Amino acid sequence: MRTAVLISGRGSNLQALIAAARPAEHPAEIALVLSNRPGAAGLGHATEAGIASQVVDQSAYAGPDRAAARAAFDAALSKALEAAGIEMVCLAGFMRVLTGDFVTRWRDRLINIHPSLLPAFPGLDTHARALAAGVKLHGCTTHFVREEVDSGPIIGQAAVPVLAADTPESLAARVLAMEHRLYPACLRLVAEGRAKVVGERVELVVTPSGGDSLMQPPS
């Protein structure tokens, strides 16, 4: 399955996806890395891995009519993806809210990873908000994308304990380590047809990992 990864920054989840997809037998091929920012550090990871990369510069799509500018940018994204023969799109730190038209166009072929156990803490500053709320488990979620931000059928989740001495930074580091395991595992399931949307829920075909697991699906 020809897969594109959309990034805006350093691309640490991109690195995890590239590494996981490297074996020839992997069901997903990272065929394109696309950024909305010309200076995104993650573009270098694509170059190092010999993967095609492209920039659709968001600054070129500005104007007084914000809705028209967003629509034009998203249309340019779709054009680039379709020109590369992309079948699946992974958002990996892509810091833009996509339009409803784009989400509909790529429905059930567009997945994201979010640094919280959705539906808790959608949006930004998830780690600080988790600490402020006093939760004892925090983590990350992969999901199919829908128009509402950080919503959509959940593919998988991974949790970490929240420690008494945690800061947003220390908690973020542990969650990020789990993201690097969860996202490749979920992309594999989707590419293999073992994670399917049925009635706005995801049905998984996986081997049970035991009742004490803090990651589902298991990596």
Q: Exactly one of 114, 127, 138, 180 is catalytic; name it.
A: 114
At 171 the pLDDT is: 98
Nearest CA-CA partner of 1 in 23, 30, 22, 24: 30
Q: How many residues would you count in the chain?
A: 219
pTM of the full predicted structure? 0.94
At 21 the pLDDT is: 97
State in Å, rounded, how far the first CA of the chain is from the last one: 19
Average pLDDT over residues 191-212: 87
Residue 26 falls in the annotated catalytic set: no
Give the pLDDT confidence of 24-45 residue by residue, as tens digits: 999 999 999 999 999 999 999 9
Q: At residue 216, does pLDDT exceed 90? A: no
Quickly state the pLDDT bin for 213 (edges 50, 70, 90): low
List, in sequence order, every residue forming a beta bridge with 156; answer none if it has no partner: 142
H helix or E strand, kind and range, residue 10 = none
For 79, the token pair is 């054009």
Q: At residue 94, does pLDDT exceed 80? A: yes
Average pLDDT over residues 7-13: 96
For the chain, the domain total comes to 1
Tell me the percentage of the chain whose pLDDT exceeds 90.
Answer: 93
Any idea what the CATH number is for the domain that residue 48 is in?
Answer: 3.40.50.170
Measured N-to-C along each axis, helices 12-21 and 42-49 cross at an angle, to the nearest 10 degrees, of 20
| Domain of 155, in residue numbers | 2-216
At 219 the pLDDT is: 73
Question: CA-CA distance, 171 to 125, in Å (whole number)?
Answer: 12
Q: At residue 209, does pLDDT exceed 80? A: no
Average pLDDT score, the chain? 95
Give the pLDDT confidence of 40-84 residue by residue, as tens digits: 999 999 999 999 999 999 999 988 999 999 999 999 999 999 999
In terms of DSSP bridges, do strands 29-35 and 52-55 run parallel, antiparallel, or are they unpaired? parallel
At 62 the pLDDT is: 87
Give the pLDDT confidence of 167-196 residue by residue, as tens digits: 999 999 999 999 999 999 999 999 999 999
